[in-house]
Amino acid sequence: MKILCLNCGSSSVKYLLFDWQAKTTVASGLVERVGIGGSFINIEAPGREKVTVNQDCPTHKDAIQLVITTLTHKEHGVIDTLSGITAVGHRVVHGGEKFVKSVIIDDKVVETFRELSSLAPLHNPPNIQGIEAARALMPKIPHMAIMDTAWHQTMPEASYMYALPRAWYEKYAIRRYGFHGTSFLYNAKRAACLLGKDPFQTNLVICHIGNGASINAVKNGLSYDTSMGFTPLEGLVMGTRAGDHDPAIPLYVMARESMNPGEMDAILNKKSGKLGITGKYSDARDVEVAAEQGDARSKLALDMESNRIRKYIGAYAAAVGGIDAVVFTAGVGEMGPITREAALGGLEFMGIKLDRERNNISKTRNAETEISCKTSKVKVFVIPTDEERVFVEDVVGLLNGSYDIHTRFDYTFQHAGYRNKLRDDAFAKQCAKKPELAKVAASLPEGVKP
């Protein structure tokens, strides 16, 4: 049984082919520059060199056809025909209140996603285009949707409602939805496993920190609150998104600059955040380099980012009545010791004690690490996220009829003996070059010594 996972962005298609029986990735890659010219695809497979193929893809249908062609290619392909694919899992950013779990896609489901597009105008349309293209190219294969918002449907009303006219919720479904749900689900299960606790007796603050970033308060294994809101704009300081700010500010500037809502939306989403603060950089790596070189505005951006993360950690720990662990994940969360240290600075009074040496060593996407001191009452973990693994297991569950909401569904990765062979192999190679990594791993793969 081979499962194809597709994640369609506005100008890209990320894909992964997973062999369920072997419990391993067969191939993965990315089609970039869809619809803007100069398109190309990358394919990576275990034991092979990475391959890049240039081919123009004016539409998402062309991009998905290129994925299929690449996977079945005589030279660098990994399957002979489409019959080697059992089912397809699609990422959908916004499921609104309609979906509390992953679903089998039919025409009615697609129409519901279309109706929800106004809630996620930058994300749902390309998700839908990808679904329609894949269903047209692979009509005999079942397709499933995995939604970022589904994980957060357990939030209580006091967390998801805004102090706005009730009619806005009733007419326009304005409420907090939250995003990065698939990542939070994976991390919540893995963190409970590392703690040796029942996931539904575990309280966490999970920090998904990348160019887009959000924080999730997990109470007794369920999403209780989250920093992103009606859209992904609310919350943390991000690469180009403003995050939390006084909502009167856009109204004030629009009146004086004669801006329309579309222009202000573009500024808040694409020209704010770290880019707005520095005037130059949105990528965390660029901001860190500039700050080290003395750029005051870059240093300010890092200080503002870490201060916002710290405030959310404290607030969410209070909201759930105390936490067992803080978890960092996603690009910066997994690879950014500077951001992690700054975000946790001053939280010792909460029982959070960071081991600075372990934190500085922890830069890997192939192993879960523990970066807190042994005396820390609250553990601090770095867990490389694996959204595609959630995709795969949801799809398999839907296929065999065992799938249900996560409180009644058994994921393989929520058990102590779970291993990811590809990551274990990659981590072993990393440790051969950087042996100190083995010292911070929460658990070691076979053959790697501390």
Q: Which two tokens stand for residue 286?
A: 């660029």
What's the rounded Cα separation, in Å, for the pair 311 and 347?
10
What's the rounded Cα separation, in Å, for the pair 88 and 108?
18
Residue 92, beta-bridge partner list: 147
* DSSP reduced 3-state for 305: helix
Q: Which of 148, 324, 386, 424 is catalytic?
A: 148
Backbone region of residue 178 per phi and psi (left: phi > 0; alpha: psi in -120 to 50; beta: other values):
left
The helix (run of H) or strand (run of E) holding residue 326 is strand 325-329
Contact (Cβ atoms closer than 8 angstroms) between residue 89 and residue 4:
yes
- 106 given a catalytic annotation: no
Burial of 304 from C-beta contacts in 10 A (0-12 / 13-18 / 19+): middle
Angle between helices 296-319 and 337-344 (to 10 degrees): 60
Could you give the dihedral angle defined by the CA atoms of residues 403, 96, 240 and 352, in that order, rounded to the nearest 10 degrees? -60
Residues annotated as catalytic (active site), given as ranges = 148
